[in-house]
Amino acid sequence: MREKVPDPPGAGVRPFLPASAALLLAVAAALPPETNPWSLAACEAIAAAAILFLVFGRNRSPRLPPAWALILLPLAALSVLTAPGRARALDEAALAIVVVLAGSLGRGLADDRRGPKLLLATLAALGCAAALLAVRQHAVTYPMQAEAVRAVDPAEPTGLLVRLEAGRPSGPFTLPAALGGFLALSLPSLLVWAVRSARPVGRAVAAAALLLQGYALLLTRSLGALAACAVGLLLALLFLAPRGRALAALAILLLAILGGGHFLHARRAEMAAAPGGDPVSLRAGNWGAALRMVRDHPLFGSGPGSFGIFYPRYMREGMNETRHAHNSYLQAAAGWGLWILLPLLVLMVRFAQAVRAAWRGAGAGADLRAPALAGGGAFLFHNLGDFTLFLPGVAIPAALLLGLGIGRPGAEVAAAPRAARGAPAARRAAALLVAAALAAHGVTTARSRTLLAGARESAERGDLETAALLAQRSAAARPDNADTAAFLAQMILAHRIEDDAWRAVGERAAERAVSLEPEAAILHYTRALYHQAAGESAAAFRERHAAHLLYPLKRLYRVDSPGPGEAPR
């Protein structure tokens, strides 16, 4: 009888980690969770399965965050619990957990033979698919939609026609900058493959993909994404042969400068539309507001996910309305508190150490970690002037790359025998709790958002009864979500305020929305309009004044400004 050969350390995780990492990448990028609720549920389910396998899997290795990170959990819990909008705080906390687990999956691939190739090949394929969709949007979809809008209303006032005619594609993502940020993850690895591939066919395919994705990046006309891509390509050059490296670096810098100039010229009308409309001054205003928010809430922040709610009270003349700080590090500090900068600083140090090691060719798998580090570096730089860290469709792929690049091949396997003795009972219990909470959050959030989307569609068709029913079902799925109550209150206010029965439903919804998110100016204003409709002048004045304090620059919220249906004073 043949004697059974024992598996090598860490072999028990090999079939699971590459497949789950590639699946998570494909789901997040092909169906960005910020626009697809059930994609969010799928990503959270994959992350939940990953944490269970990393803790309970046979011959597992220590790929979870280090033990010292546990001291941050009480601080994170306090930031979430003290947040004025509990639903937004929980949503951002869930995203943070998924991103951390994606990084852990990426680390797990560092000592795998096929995993890094599978991950990078999947990223390249998804980048090409997104680029093709972007080219189609620019050349076909947006011109057709612009024609349709112009035929209905040539003076369309919402800016939709302007955006369509600008032709800046977003691919499967919500914004052109998000598409550019995703392409900046893929382009550095394509450059490395185009130079290093041993086969002419491989070099040709990589070069073609590089040109396609580069063209799509240019179509986005995103200055931040262009600068991030330049940083990623320059990092990629560090890992290539020294011959011709300086000349290639100069070429990349020159192309970035020329591209930036072209972007500024092409977007001059957009920037001239309002005072301070150039990207630099707008972002400076956002950064200043974030710093003032950190000053006022240094310990536990204003609450995860609350930047857009608190931002209006920090606005000054000439600043734009936004839900993001256009600097993810400042936004994280504003929402979570200054303590969040500690893990971010550790990430930066580990990243710098990994770049140095890969540059010297140290460690097994350095050739595969190098393109991952270059793409991850582009992401880290991009978030100095943008917010793709808060867009899971870009943040999850970036976390996988950073985990792969920072992971230390050999160290994980060497530590496996110690980990094989089993995780402590407390750690197992915590893993079960987090996995169950994450999976439940994904399903309930997806169901609630799907029902709310159906309610909005019904309201647009004029079927208010169905809209109200779907909104109530959405609220039952996520009772902590103020958006559903706000939608119901505002729908009734717009269409059925004269009906006593409907108005009573709207009043309860408006009151509940304010109780769930007391820092939102629009919700206080909505409540004021219900008091006004009921003839309750003092209560209407109080709520309108509260809205004015939360958003001082908005004239509509001033108590001396006329509301809807009122004559000017």
pLDDT at residue 64, as a whole number: 62
What is the per-residue pLDDT for 421?
Answer: 45
> Residue 84 has what DSSP assignment?
S
pTM to 2 decimal places: 0.90
C-alpha to C-alpha distances, 88 to 80, 480, 546, 562, nearest whole angstrom? 9, 9, 21, 32
Query: Which three-class secondary structure state does DSSP give residue 121?
Result: helix
Q: Burial letters for 314-336: b for 16+ Cβ neighbours within 10 Å, e otherwise? A: bbeeebeebebbbbbbbbbbbbb
Residue 275: both structure tokens together: 């005072």
Residues in the chain, pLDDT under 70 = 1-15, 57-67, 153-159, 241, 244, 267-278, 361-367, 408-423, 560-569
- CB-facing half-sphere around the CA of 496: CA atoms within 13 A: 20
> Per-domain residue ranges for the chain?
11-269+367-423, 444-557
Of the candidates 295, 223, 232, the one whose C-alpha atom is nearest the C-alpha of residue 261 is: 223
**425-461 and 37-56 helices, crossing angle to 10°:** 170
Pairwise CA distance, residues 103 & 108, whole Å: 9
- The residue written with tokens 């309610």 in the block is 455
Tens of pLDDT, residues 229-246: 999 999 988 877 677 678
Three-class secondary structure of residue 18 per DSSP = helix
One-letter amino acid at 532 equals Q
pLDDT at site 6: 46
Of 375, 378, 285, 383, residue with least CA distance to 333: 383
**DSSP state string for 292-341:** HHHHHSTTT-S-TT-HHHHGGGG--TTPPP-SS-S-HHHHHHHHH-GGGH
What is the tens place of the pLDDT at every residue in 475-517?
999 999 999 999 999 999 999 888 889 999 999 999 999 999 9
Rg (CA), the chain: 25
Q: Give the pLDDT score at 419.
A: 44
Q: What are phi and psi of 317, to 5 degrees?
A: -55, 135
Number of other CB atoms surrounding residue 48 within 10 Å: 24
85 burial type by CB count under 10 A (0-12 exposed, 13-18 middle, 19+ buried): buried
Domain 444-557 has CATH 1.10.357.10: no
Written as one letter, the residue type at 257 is I
CA 250 and chain centroid, separation: 32
Listed in sequence order, the residues at least 6 apart from 488 whose beta carbon sits closer than 8 Å to its beta carbon are 455, 468, 471, 472, 475, 505, 506, 509
Output helix, strand, coil percentages for the chain, rounded to the nearest 5.
75, 0, 25
Residue 17: the pLDDT is 80
The Cα 273–Cα 551 span in angstroms is 23
Which tokens is 161 given? Answer: 């026609």
| Whole-number pLDDT of residue 256 | 85
What's the distance, CA 437 to chain centroid? 20
Tally of CA atoms within 13 A in the half-sphere of 22 that contains its CB = 17
Start-to-end CA distance of the chain, whole Å, equals 97
C-alpha of 106 from chain center? 18
Distance (Å, rounded) from C-alpha 473 to C-alpha 468? 9
Q: What is the pLDDT at residue 2?
A: 40
The answer to whether the CB of 263 falls within 8 A of the CB of 221 is: yes
- Return the closest-CA partner of residue 550 out of 85, 5, 34, 213: 85
SS (H, E, C) 382-447: HCCCCCHHHCHHHHHHHHHHHHHHHCCCCHHHHCHHHHCCCCCHHHHHHHHHHHHHHHHHHHHHHH
pLDDT number for residue 551:
94
